[in-house]
Amino acid sequence: MTRSTLRQQIADALRDEVLAGRLQPGQEFTVKEIAATYEVSATPVREALVDLTAQGLLDSIQHRGFQVHRFSVEDFRGMVEARSLIVDGIFRRDGAPRVALGPGPALGSVRRRAEEAARAARATDVDILIGYDVRFWRELGALVSNVYIADFLHRLRVQAWVFAVPHLRAESDLRTWLWSGHDELAEAIGSGDARTARDLIMAHNAHALAWADRLERRAGHGLRLPHLGDSEDCGDPEGRGDRGHPGASGVPGQRRDPGRPGEPGYSGSPLAPQ
């Protein structure tokens, strides 16, 4: 296995742990600790952590290592507003949408992701939804005729999930706040209906902003938002620790193998608090 491949596998594995909330915002670790956990050399671990820092998921702490970045409600609002501005440009620039509409070779996969994401959202299964939602928007973004826009939208999507997961786990009404319009959006894209596709995406972003307003109101009324280091708020309140999400990556040579997400007996990240 090449160093670059190992570097990517480590980055993918840690990104998935951050996305799922098993590595919690504010949690600190060192290159040495992660290298020992995965039984690999320090170099690919350091490179993976630098990559995740560049993606905004980790912070580098001088002389101490790294920690998972803490995103605020205002950060989340900014992510959603940025998405809205970009989508507006994609569908309006030069009077023609800059996205491939209608049937195409990539649409079958987009529709499959859409069906699974919508099903998970309606079932209020956050663990399953995370992976399918990220993949759905990643593949949908690939239909945009600009790789830089697609990559930027993907980064915003991942960062938004990192913020949202601990707050969603504390929500009493998940069915209201988990967006489930993936299949409708895929159908609009497949049928070439640019107006409906744009309206659905903008409604999705408005829905996310409404949730941000709810979080701010709760904080303003003195209701406790989940502290992003609290295990009771960031854990698995429904006792579904054996269920993960698609796309989570393991790293060969792991000292203590917790299994892969989605497999029976999966116990989460070896780096997560036990």
The per-residue pLDDT for 93 is 53
How far apart CA 129 and CA 138 sit, in angstroms, is 14
Helix (H, G, I), strand (E, B) or coil at 223: coil
The per-residue pLDDT for 71 is 97
Backbone angles phi, psi at 191, to 5 degrees: -90, 0
- Contacts with 44 (C-beta within 8 Å, 6 or more apart), sequence order: 3, 6, 7, 10
Nearest in space to 83 (alpha carbons), one of 192, 212, 208: 208
User: By 3-state DSSP, what share of the chain in percent is helix, strand and coil, each rounded to 5?
Assistant: 60, 5, 35
Backbone angles phi, psi at 29, to 5 degrees: -160, 165
The per-residue pLDDT for 108 is 87
The per-residue pLDDT for 96 is 54
The per-residue pLDDT for 1 is 60
Two structure tokens written together for 138: 């990643």
The per-residue pLDDT for 2 is 65
How far apart CA 119 and CA 258 sit, in angstroms, is 27
The per-residue pLDDT for 3 is 65
pLDDT single digits (tens) 247-260: 334 444 444 444 43
pLDDT tens per residue across all 274 residues of the chain: 666 789 999 999 999 999 988 899 999 999 999 999 889 999 999 999 999 999 999 999 988 899 999 999 999 999 999 999 998 888 875 555 556 555 667 788 999 999 999 999 999 999 999 999 999 999 998 888 789 999 999 999 999 999 999 999 989 899 999 999 999 999 999 898 988 999 999 999 999 999 999 999 988 765 555 544 443 333 333 333 333 333 334 444 444 444 433 333 334 444 443 3
pLDDT single digits (tens) 51-99: 999 999 999 998 889 999 999 999 999 999 999 999 888 887 555 555 6
Q: What percent of the chain has pLDDT over 90?
A: 58
Two structure tokens written together for 120: 């998970």
Nearest in space to 144 (alpha carbons), one of 183, 197, 187, 184: 197
